[in-house]
Amino acid sequence: MNNSNSIGVFDSGLGGLSIARRIREILPNENLLYVADSAHGPYGDKSAAFITQRSSAIIDFLLEQKAKTIVVACNTATVSSIQELRAKYRVPIIGVEPGIKPAVFKTNTRIIGVLATTQTLKSTSFNELSSNFSDKVKIEVQACPGLMEQVEALDLAGHKTEALVKKYVGSLLERGVDNIVLGCTHYIFLAPLIRKIAGPAIEIINTDFAVAKETARRLTVANLLSSNYALGQEQFYSSGDQPTATKQFSLLWGEPVSVSQF
């Protein structure tokens, strides 16, 4: 392992690009590898065994491409599989989990809401995380079937997407929350719509910047930060349809990119 190798990032689809963008912001000299497992997503309605199997296949690929660390940029994969993945692989593995802790410090009503996938909300890991704060706040959860698919379809503000967001956010507002935690990396791309529907009094919490900072910290501790003065490069892969993936990635990354088949 050497510091010129790449940071590997993966998700069940496009959501992890929000994490990769933050990593690029704070670590501009690092090379990035990104894999979207769109052909097998969403993970939110899959079994933990399936998610672990897919995550392992992706990590094997990223390590073949000389990744020096792995960012599991998917809440569902993190809560379902990260313990098994860390036991299996020797490289640093960084996960992402719903930002309940920062919401606890910001809430005034002592009621916070979490938008997430069904699999995340029923996982042992999520419930353990929630129980750590159950004596401090009431945590209201809302599963959001269909929302990830709207992001994958690049429908970030259409009628169907808005109707789903109104349904899910409205349910949390009715329960008195004043902070809404985005418990899926896909939902970050819907943050403007969520803010519009929730209103200015509601705090929207996501963890993309925190995950990027943790990635930088772990690389620093392991002495794996790039010593290259040039700007880093990105390589994108998808298990889905390539022309579709190229369109998706280019829009969400913010500039034209090419996407290879995974």
223 and 155 part of one domain:
no
**Predicted structure pTM score:** 0.93
pLDDT digits (tens, 9 = 90+) for 86-109: 999 999 999 999 999 999 999 999
pLDDT tens digits, 184-201: 999 999 999 999 999 999
**Residue 69 belongs to some domain of the structure:** yes
Neighbours of 216 (CB within 10 A): 17
Note whether 195 and 106 are same-domain residues.
Answer: yes
Structural domain that includes position 212: 6-96+208-261
For 57, the token pair is: 């296949």
> Which domain CATH number covers 228?
3.40.50.1860
What are the catalytic residues?
74, 184
Does residue 1 have a pLDDT over 80?
Answer: no
Residue 166 falls within a domain, yes or no?
Answer: yes
Residues 124 and 81 in one domain: no
182 within domain boundaries? yes
Q: Is residue 1 a part of any domain in this protein?
A: no
Instruction: Please give the average per-residue pLDDT across 24-37, as a whole number.
Output: 97
- Does 212 lie in the same domain as 90? yes
Total domain count for the chain? 2
